[in-house]
Amino acid sequence: MKDKIIKCAFNYIEDLFKNDFGGHDVEHSKRVYQNALLIAKCEPECDLFVVSLAALLHDVDDHKLFHTENNANARAFLESVQLDQNQIDRICELMNGISFSKNRGVRPETLEGKIVQDADRLDAIGAIGIARTFAFGGERKRPLSATVQHFYDKLLLLKDEMNTAEGKRIAEHRHQLMVDFLQELNNEMHINETE
Ligand code: ADP
Ligand code: NI
């Protein structure tokens, strides 16, 4: 039954994000799900069903993409697969607690929230984070030099805000890759000054 609901959640997001490309497409939600499973393996106490659904659905009411109130998309889906109201409330509350901009500096209270927040943040850093950032900058028609600022405003801060041990471990590697990349980028952008 639980496997079937997770399969339905995959189908639901495939359809919902079918016109979105770049940083916020369905592939992002699927990677967050995979990251969440990796972290959850190291956190045996967690409720894997809640982690799975929250990871897959965490952006279905993102205000940048949808004009919904009170997690309307997530609720409609979770009701359609007949989850009970308590569980629906719990998953929605968890998803509302993980957004970076809405909860600056506030950590999720539940283990499941911590896992999904880390999983989402991992997808914002490392090689994939670099790719998403420039895709976003391109979409907004910003030059590379302006887009780079986002690394200093947000992405380089994420490593120290991870909640779980496994999240921290993966973040260290991805963080270093961004540091190395920015160093190289800076060298290449200012090549004429050193020649
Ligand atoms: P999510 O909702 O998945 O946590 P965001 O909506 O904050 O992520 O951002 C989606 C992607 O766009 C991320 O990879 C993020 O780094 C990138 N992004 C967000 N804001 C900017 C910005 N001002 N400049 C460049 N990239 C950005
Ligand atoms: Ni996300």
At 116, which helix (H) or strand (E)?
Answer: helix 111-122
Q: State residue 106's pLDDT score.
A: 75
Token pair in block for residue 4: 């079937």
Q: Give the binding-site residues of ligand 1, using a 6 Å CB cut-off.
A: 23-24, 28, 59, 62, 64, 100, 120, 124, 129, 132-133, 136-137, 147, 150, 155
Q: State residue 48's pLDDT score.
A: 98
Domains annotated on the chain, with CATH: 2-194 (1.10.3210.50)
Q: What is the pLDDT of residues 24-75, one digit of tens each?
A: 789 999 999 999 999 999 999 999 999 999 999 999 999 888 899 999 999 9
Q: What is the pLDDT of residues 91-111, one digit of tens each?
A: 999 999 987 666 666 789 999
- State whether residue 176 is helix, strand or coil: helix
Return the residue matching tokens 């509302």.
Answer: 96
Q: Which of 63, 64, 132, 162 to mutate to test the pocket of ligand 1 (most atoms within 8 A of CB)?
A: 132
Q: Which of 60, 150, 152 to mutate to test the pocket of ligand 1 (most atoms within 8 A of CB)?
A: 150
**How does the average pLDDT of the chain come out, rounded?**
93
Which amino acid type is present at position 97?
Answer: G
pTM above 0.85, yes or no: yes
Interaxial angle between packed helices 85-96 and 72-80, expressed in degrees from 0 to 180 and rounded to the nearest 10: 150
Beta strands in 75-173 (DSSP E): none
CB burial of residue 6 (10 Å; 0-12, 13-18, 19+): middle
Q: How far is the CA of 136 from the centre of ligand 1 (A)?
A: 7
Q: How far is the CA of 80 from the centre of ligand 2 (A)?
A: 23
Token pair in block for residue 185: 């980028």
CA distance linking residue 75 with residue 89, whole number of Å: 8
